[in-house]
Structure 1
């Protein structure tokens, strides 16, 4: 495609020697869209495969959770919206042809600001990060402060929180739209040049809110939650064994869900870490301007995208309840309307499990109040 662009430019230079002909062709050139076709390299192929896996996997999670009639668990709602954000990320991750030359029109401005920059993709990515951080906080409160957790479980609170997170995601990504425009001379989508100090400040803020703070919150809350759960298990082993043998399944369900979250968080850090660190170095002017939208940047972005399609795979590997629900869905059997990713859920069913759960939580709460 580069040779085609060069030939087109040479032809325009030849015609421009004639003032009359140049005046005629100039408006035509300014109103022309010139598209660069997709070059099918190995990383583009990997991007398409990751997109398809993310769309299918997260769609199944959404059908199982958000499609249910009875959502009694805040964990289900949060993980369902995490799947929605990852689903949108996977959809917007599909490679599209890029405009090499755009006219100076409002439509071209909209293209450069929203499509060329993949604004909607980064919006859903930021939303996915925020929900994952909130899930970690929710697990932290459920384990460390079980009495206060009942207030957080209320569905209207979770719905308001989701709306606030979407508003925060939009506000955090406005800079993408603001810093891109149509260059009047080259008729290309160009990042606006800002002052060196402002770019550094913006880069630090973006790095903090998109990676450093979420990753720190996830790691700290899950470490504290794991230590608290282990201490509670040792402290109340005798009490739980006197209640029912089924209490062991409650402890196993909690540990299994925590281990699943550990793996999800680890994948997030491994996938998003290199991309965020490289972009941070770019804003600090450690990396050259050619890095942005260059080959290395695109490869790191593709690696980061794998986080969006990995979560359903983790659910299937680490969570038996999810595997059973998928098998029932694929076999066209009715899917249970109960919770899927509930911290207080056990492998058994019926009112006996609910009674056991309340008994265990009351025992834990009474002992905590005495301590």
Structure 2
């Protein structure tokens, strides 16, 4: 097969030969597998599952590379802006917003550790261009930052639950507790990302073989058990925490509004709240919606990839093609783009800080409205 691929004397490698020759599929001879294009030092890491698939249209490599460049630029700029506002604006440095800043930091680290290398591979022929160890390191860093973001969202959800559902009976979030939560996020993420280096699970190239992730295709129990644990402890459990928190948040808001309307009806008045109270309650509901939108976007991004993992672990793998596995992986990493956009656009205090620090963005936020958001955005001060 190698001799067939290298017949063109003008070719610089298997990716470069005879795109217009008759009887070829995207320039590759019939029978060529996507794994035939992988450098020799990477082939031991490639799962045999990918031998059954031909190379994808080269257009996919360039398209994914361009998408990744755009997502990377937006993510780094957006998350960097959130961190900058957090550091420069004193009244944003609350315990609750510390969790938001940690989310922005982990999201930014995700893109910094992933998109430059993925994009380089895409524009360099669509194969993994670095060492086998760097493939494992790339996957490990993606796992650490992704899991840290997942658990940051879980703790943000719990804080919203504590503020809105429990109210005055809830234990206020202090700076110390916020730091413990952040340390847990990073320690937990690192703890679940290191085992493949110690013999439990492994990191391998996936999809079109220009990126790497953990092995969810092998039926060996050592590898399969790691994949199952990752799915349960790093997707299902945080998902349950998030769903639990927001189900009760919505129920509490609906019940409170219903009680207020019924009491107002008994007293023959249209509204029991003063204007300030009404605005404060409106801010509370608005912030809850912002966080719920964030979580919904995360679910949209990560659930397709979780579905591919479940299919690889338990069901028929024949439909897991390079593109079928690659697009959900790209969608999962795009989660790092949405968080700063949602918070910058919808969070009143962040909008006010953005208006003051970066007036060129033409943000117009009323300072009084933002100050009425205190009850929802500040659970306590250390």
Q: TM-score, normalised by structure 2?
A: 0.67
Of 52, 65, 71 in structure 2, the residue corresponding to residue 50 of structure 1 is 71
- Are the structure 2 counterparts of residues 349 and 311 from structure 1 closer, same or farther at C-alpha, using a change threshold of 3 Å? closer
2:248 corresponding residue in structure 1: 224
Of 252-261 and 205-214, the range deviating more from structure 2: 205-214
Q: CA deviation at 1:290?
A: 7.8
| Equivalent residue, structure 2, for 1:262 | 292
1:162 correspondence with 2:182: yes
Question: Could you tell me which residue of structure 1 aligns to residue 329 of structure 2?
Answer: 301
CA distance in 2, matches of 1:83, 1:296: 28
1:67 CA displacement = 4.1
Q: Deviations over 1:320-354 (max 9, x none)?
A: 43333222221389xxxxxx9xxxx972549xx97
**Displacement, 1:73?**
2.6
8 Å CA contact retained: 2:151, 2:185: yes
Query: Following the alignment from structure 1 to structure 2, what is the Cα–Cα distance between the partners of residues 169 and 191?
Result: 14
What is the root-mean-square deviation of aligned Cα atoms in Å? 3.9
Does 1:172 find its partner at 2:192?
A: yes
1:282 counterpart (312, 322, 336): 312
Which protein shows a greater Rg? 1
Of residues 73, 76, 98 in structure 2, which corresponds to 1:77? 98
Aligned-partner Cα distance in 1 for 2:197–2:247: 37
Residue range with higher mean Cα deviation, 299-308 or 68-77? 68-77
Aligned residues: 303
Q: What does residue range 1-371 of structure 1 map to in structure 2 within 5 Å? A: 3=6, 40-69=61-90, 73-96=94-117, 97=120, 110-115=133-138, 117=139, 119-151=140-172, 153-178=173-198, 179-180=202-203, 196-236=220-260, 244-284=274-314, 286-287=316-317, 294-331=322-359, 347=369, 349=371
Structure 1 contact 264–314 (Cα < 8 Å) conserved: yes
CA positional deviation for 1:283: 2.5
Relative to the length of structure 1, the TM-score reads 0.69
Structure 2, unmatched stretches of 5+, are 7-11, 16-39, 42-58, 122-126, 206-211, 265-269
The answer as to whether partners of 2:82 and 2:344 remain within 8 angstroms in 1 is no
The answer to whether the 8 A contact 1:54-1:86 is kept is yes
Distance apart, 1:265 and its partner CA: 1.0
* Alpha-carbon shift at residue 180 of structure 1 (Å): 4.4
Relative to structure 1, the CA distance from residue 322 to residue 332 in structure 2 (aligned partners, 3 Å threshold; closer, same or farther) is same
In 2 relative to 1, CA 194–286 (structure 1 residues): closer, same or farther, beyond 3 Å?
Answer: closer
